Structure 1
Amino acid sequence: MSAAEHSRTASVPTTAMEQPRRVELGNDRVRLEPLGAQHVEGLRAVVADGEIWRAPYAPHVPAPDRVEEHVAAQCASDEAGTTLSWAVLEQGSGRVVGHTTFLNISRRDRRLEIGTTYLAGSVQGTGINAAVKLALLTHAFETLGCLGVEFRVHHLNTASRRAVERLGAQQDGILRAHRILPDGTVRHTVVYSILTWEWPGVRASLEHRLAR
């Protein structure tokens, strides 16, 4: 059933979803801990691993000397209830390997965005990203009761676009000239989403990928 067909035949809750809370999430591969000052040193190592803070189209990744400031700003936003951020840890080793956030939270419309995600260079392509998304999407759809979850990507960031598409997210459109980046370039933002009736299939696909 297409999204248009579903919208004509199915009703959704008219009450606001609950406010996302600072809770630990995880699965066999990763543990997501609510972000705090205790993660600063680990995240410094993350951004230095592969020098991911120098990557093009990733202004959300802080340089090593800006990590403490970045974490403090994220925590303040979390306390205000506008975002919810986690440090990503490997199960078993307990090593900090990344960062991720719920943002653009709309309780009334039961919708949020997963963004500002970055992972250490050494764990990219190992299945960690799929495990992180499985934990976040499970919480969003099965605990919070989201109707939709968004992903927003720089139009030139083909690697991230392909990664989002592999999740099973559908492209909604492009916000043209959406942002002026710190270097003065203009970002067109590609918007993707997964809807609640698409989630069972997305979950099965993610679980299959991780089992392999």
Structure 2
Amino acid sequence: MPWTDRATTTLEDQRVRLAPISEADRDGTRAVAMDPAIWTYFVSSVASDEDFTRYFDTCLADHRDGRRVVFTVTDKATGAIAGSMSYGNVSEHDARLEIGWSWLGSRYRGTGVNRHAKHLLLRHAFEELGAERVEFKTDVLNLQARKGLTNIGATEEGTLRSYNPMPSGRRRDAVYYSVLRAEWPRVAQTLTAGREPGPPGA
């Protein structure tokens, strides 16, 4: 079974649930997505209902057509949708993929939701799919995201200049990070450090 099919599954622990995107997620996603701060470093912008409709329809289409595996992130403490994350640029032949297209609503930032979600995605990539490399990229100006990637133990690899256009008209420099299979045990330990014990398998 191809990676994109095997990755299209629900991932969860005691804190978050990541489920493949569906039409039923539209209203709950809209409730947290209409915050301009989310989109500061994105290559798309959501500033109106029309923008959101275009964004969400693109997510559904990308997921349906296998360009990405798009997950809706739910905070299990509240039962509310917290944001979205994806697997993309999947190259099964090369045993690598990217985790990205990630955002969370303002009330969920700094709460541990991101760390739990990234742990689930990395664990599934390395332990279930058999990835040798998981990569991330972000805007070189997004210092918060870059610090977060460094903090979990991802390695900064370099910057691709003038990588793509932004809604503001500037061209973004994209900085790449990665975690390799041999590094996963250390990164997993970092991601789970300090957690309260959860149920078996969490």
TM (norm. structure 1) is 0.85
Equivalent runs, 1:19-168 vs 2, <5 Å? 19=4, 20-48=6-34, 51-53=36-38, 55-60=39-44, 62-65=46-49, 66-168=51-153
SS of alignment partner, residue 108 of structure 1: helix
| Deviation of the 1:62 alpha carbon | 2.8
Identity %: 32
Give unpaired runs (5+ residues) of structure 2: 198-202
In structure 2, the residue matched to 1:8 is: none
TM (norm. structure 2) is 0.89
| Deviation of the 1:67 alpha carbon | 2.4
Distance 1:103 1:172 in 2: 18
Distance 2:186 2:97 in 1: 19
Distance 1:167 1:210 in 2: 14
On the 8 A contact 2:155/2:178 being kept in 1, the answer is yes
Residue 173 in structure 1 maps to residue 158 in structure 2? yes
Larger radius of gyration: 1
SS of alignment partner, residue 71 of structure 2: strand
| Alignment: residue pair count | 195
Distance 1:61 1:89 in 2: 22
Stretch moving more, 141-150 or 90-99: 90-99
Which amino acid in 2 is paired with 1:110? A
Distance 2:196 2:22 in 1: 31
| Deviation of the 1:112 alpha carbon | 0.6
SS of alignment partner, residue 96 of structure 1: strand
Distance 2:54 2:25 in 1: 12
Distance 1:17 1:76, change over 3 A: closer
| Deviation of the 1:52 alpha carbon | 2.9
SS of alignment partner, residue 193 of structure 2: helix
In structure 1, the residue matched to 2:167 is: 182
Give unpaired runs (5+ residues) of structure 1: 1-15
**Stretches of 4+ moved more than 4 A in 1?**
none
Which amino acid in 2 is paired with 1:41? D
Distance 1:104 1:94 in 2: 30
| Deviation of the 1:51 alpha carbon | 4.0
Distance 1:102 1:60 in 2: 18
